[in-house]
């Protein structure tokens, strides 16, 4: 069971490992959209968007529902929104750590200049 869970997680995160897929998920977190809407919001041609949506659908991360001749995409699990939020918080924490480290470096550099 543990190995199966680890494999699921690895495949899940592999499916998220593309900037355009992350952007699509962020847009779908705001509400359901069709390919044309996503395409206009990301500013990328439809074939690239469709290709990334295919990957996300294959991994059951998004679902597509037919609406006439369009397919409306949505997040399969609303927890994806929380996952993206946590990832943003982790990024911000790393950024704060980097800024703190740079501030300390600059303070040390300024002290050495004052000694000269």
Q: Residues 56, 27: one domain?
A: yes
Determine what percent of the chain is predicted with pLDDT higher than 70. 91
Q: Residues 69, 16: one domain?
A: yes
- Counting the structural domains of the chain, the total is 2
Distance separating alpha carbons of residues 18 and 79, to the nearest angstrom: 19
Q: Residues 64, 82: one domain?
A: no
pLDDT in tens, 53-79: 999 999 999 999 999 999 999 999 999
Give the C-alpha distances (Å, rounded to integers) separating 64 from 10, 61, 90, 97, 111: 23, 10, 30, 40, 60
Taking the CA of residue 11 as centre, how many other CA atoms within 13 Å lie in the half-sphere pointing to its CB?
Answer: 13
Per-residue pLDDT band at 105 (split at 50, 70, 90)? confident
Q: Residues 63, 82: one domain?
A: no
pLDDT in the model for residue 97:
77
Q: Residues 66, 90: one domain?
A: no
pLDDT in tens, 72-90: 999 999 999 999 999 989 9
Q: Residues 44, 82: one domain?
A: no
Q: Residues 68, 86: one domain?
A: no
Cβ(75)–Cβ(81) under 8 Å? yes
Distance separating alpha carbons of residues 16 and 107, to the nearest angstrom: 39
Q: Residues 72, 88: one domain?
A: no
Give me the CATH number covering residue 46: 1.10.10.10
Note down the domain range covering 55: 1-76
Give the DSSP letter of residue 69: T
Determine what percent of the chain is predicted with pLDDT higher than 90. 69
Task: Considering only residues 45 and 109, tell me which one the structure prediction assigns the higher pLDDT.
Answer: 45
Distance separating alpha carbons of residues 42 and 52, to the nearest angstrom: 12
pLDDT in the model for residue 80:
95
Q: Residues 10, 66: one domain?
A: yes
* Contact partners, residue 33, CB within 8 Å, separation at least 6: 27, 41, 72, 73
Q: Residues 82, 72: one domain?
A: no
Q: Residues 71, 17: one domain?
A: yes
Q: Residues 86, 72: one domain?
A: no
Domain final residue pick, 61, 76, 91: 76
């Amino acid at each position: 069971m543990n190995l199966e869970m680890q494999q699921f997680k690895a495949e899940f995160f592999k499916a998220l490992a593309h900037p355009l897929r992350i952007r699509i998920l962020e847009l779908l977190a705001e509400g359901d959209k069709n390919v044309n809407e996503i395409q206009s919001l990301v500013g990328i041609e439809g074939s690239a968007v469709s290709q990334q949506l295919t990957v996300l659908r294959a991994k059951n991360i998004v679902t597509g529902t037919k609406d006439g001749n369009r397919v409306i995409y949505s997040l399969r699990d609303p927890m994806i929104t929380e996952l993206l939020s946590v990832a943003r918080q982790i990024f911000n924490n790393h950024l704060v750590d980097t800024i703190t480290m740079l501030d300390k470096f600059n303070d040390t550099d300024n002290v050495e200049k004052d000694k000269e």
